[in-house]
Amino acid sequence: MGIAWSILRPSALSPGAILVVAGERGVLAVHFLRGGGLDEVQTFLRELGAKPAVARKPVIRKPADVSKTAARAWTSGATRPAVPVPIVAPAPVAAATRRHLFRAVAELEAYFRGRLRDFRVPVDLDGRGTSFERRVWDALRRIPWGAVVSYGQLASRIGRRDAARAVGGAVGRNPIPVILPCHRVVGEAGCLTGFSSGLGLKVSLLEHEGLTITDGKSLARRRVVITPQRRHRERRAP
């Protein structure tokens, strides 16, 4: 698998760095690092299915077909990404891989700065998870910015109304968080439930999108305040 990866700097929303991995057909993974350094990155890449990789000299290059919005932001320095480091495993990285990586990093940084709501970068889920999980992950992308749905509602959207628990498991295994916004899925009555990168980050992402979270003695006791404008909305994936 020929991939390229980059690490986004920590931000106010994400205290830890974020690993972004792309392949020739789109983004493969977004992973919130826990401070393990290069060893943690290489371990994650191996688990992703990439062969042990050799890092080339860092390359900074603006892709020719980056979106106009991202290009303007890039020129102004608003979404200049961290240095992407191509990884060869086992062949030189394709131009499309670098292009997807740059676009993913630019869009993620724009999102964290409050300048982007809808991700347009392609994702590559081929061969990942089960067919059921891929249906759930595809449905995640249709949950718009600033809205939430329950696991039961998401199950209904994919035609499996009785599979809320299985949907919850699939959401928890989402390989591309934020871009496929699993943080927008909550329990019944807006209660916060598990998030692979921690409930604190889930709260930060929801508040970043304008949602109100109630106070509570613990994160698990906090809830999303759901108004009619914040529920039952669905958009088509880009």
Residues tagged active-site: 182
| Beta partners for residue 73, in sequence order | none
Query: If we measure between CA atoms, which residue out of 112, 55, 63, 52 comes closest to residue 86?
Result: 55
Q: What backbone torsions phi and psi does residue 203 show, to the nearest 5 degrees?
A: -60, -45
How crowded is the C-beta side of 120, counted as CA atoms within 13 Å? 12
Work out whether the CA dihedral 12, 136, 30, 113 comes out positive or negative: negative
- Phi, psi at residue 29, to the nearest 5°? -160, 150
Q: Which amino acid is at 192?
A: L
Contact 81, 98 (CB under 8 A): no
Long-range contact list for 12-15, CB < 8 A, 24+ apart?
Answer: 12/112, 13/112, 13/201, 13/204, 13/205, 13/208, 14/112, 14/201, 14/204
Q: Kindly report the CA angle at 100 between 60 and 113, in degrees rounded to 5?
A: 75
The b-or-e profile of 76-106 (16+ CB within 10 A means b, else e) is eeebebbebbbbebeeebbebbbbbbbbbbb
Q: At what angle do helices 95-112 and 68-76 cross, to 10 degrees?
A: 70
